[in-house]
Amino acid sequence: MSGVDATAPDGGRWTFGVEPLGSGVAAASLLRRVTSLVLAAEQDGPALERLVADLRRAEADLGGAAAASLPARVGDAAGGDGRVYVDHSRDIGRFNPCFPDYEMEVHGDAASGTVSFPIAFEGPPGLVHGGVLALFFDCVVQHHNCDVGVAGRTTSMSMRYRRPTPLLDTLGFSVARATTGGRTSSHAAIHLGERVLCEADVESVAGHRADLPEVSPRRVPR
């Protein structure tokens, strides 16, 4: 299966899709920072006008080289003319500015790390949007499952917003998981010091790597 790590030597760490481009990784972090700066701007001005003009030029240039509106080349569509599918098993925020970025270490069924949410993810004044927190939990739980080697689709998630989650602060988070039969249950929490800010319980399918569909590799431009 091209583009899929289905034979990791240690039996763990799933991947599904191709590696992001280096320029895409650089762009993601930059776009998040620029978005935060635009949201914090007090007035229109030359800098914002130049930004809009540059983005319009970039949209036109990239539009001729990317198949952004077509189905991903996965499974039955792997041999088609669709777009490349970038690996979403972990670290999605590294290459997609619409997702939060974080640092995480995995130690078996436990994982922990740090995250800081920029202004781009603001909901109430100075606080992280609750939907972004749910997205974050889904990302880190899937990352954990993929690193351990038993992963699958999320089937349910319940959230508890215990305290407001601030923007810009360095926050800690933890994940603990257990697999029973064909299901994986994970409990995750974000905390500031000793205070738990929000929690999530996530249920997912304990899948089999052999069931992953084919993923098309990147193609050389014609």
CB-based burial label for 56 (10 Å; 0-12, 13-18, 19+): exposed
Please tell me the predicted confidence (pLDDT) of residue 222.
Answer: 65
> Is residue 153 assigned to a domain?
yes
> Is residue 29 assigned to a domain?
yes
State which amino acid sits at residue 200.
A
Beta carbons of 217 and 18 less than 8 angstroms apart = yes
pLDDT band at 39 (very low <50, low <70, confident <90, very high): very high
> Is residue 8 assigned to a domain?
no
Is the pLDDT confidence value at 1 over 60? no
Sign of the CA dihedral running 160, 164, 167, 173: negative
For 161, other C-beta atoms within 10 Å of its C-beta total: 13
Q: What is the pLDDT of residues 74-91, one digit of tens each?
A: 999 999 888 999 999 999
> Is residue 120 assigned to a domain?
yes
Beta carbons of 147 and 93 less than 8 angstroms apart = no
> Is residue 4 assigned to a domain?
no
Q: 144 is in which domain, residue-wise?
A: 22-211
Q: Domain containing 59 — which CATH number? A: 3.10.129.10
CA angle 176-153-117, nearest 5°?
Answer: 60
- Rounded Cα distance between 87 and 104, Å, is 17
What lies within 8 Å, CB to CB, of 57 at 6+ separation is none
When pLDDT is averaged across residues 1-24 and rounded to a whole number, the result is: 64
- Rounded Cα distance between 147 and 137, Å, is 15
> Is residue 6 assigned to a domain?
no
> Is residue 220 assigned to a domain?
no
What lies within 8 Å, CB to CB, of 208 at 6+ separation is none
Domains in the chain, number: 1
Instruction: For residue 191, give both structure tokens.
Output: 């905390």
Please tell me the predicted confidence (pLDDT) of residue 10.
Answer: 44
Is the pLDDT confidence value at 37 over 50? yes
Write down the pTM of the prediction.
0.89
Q: What share of the chain is helix, strand, coil (3-state, %, to 5)?
A: 30, 25, 40
> Is residue 46 assigned to a domain?
yes
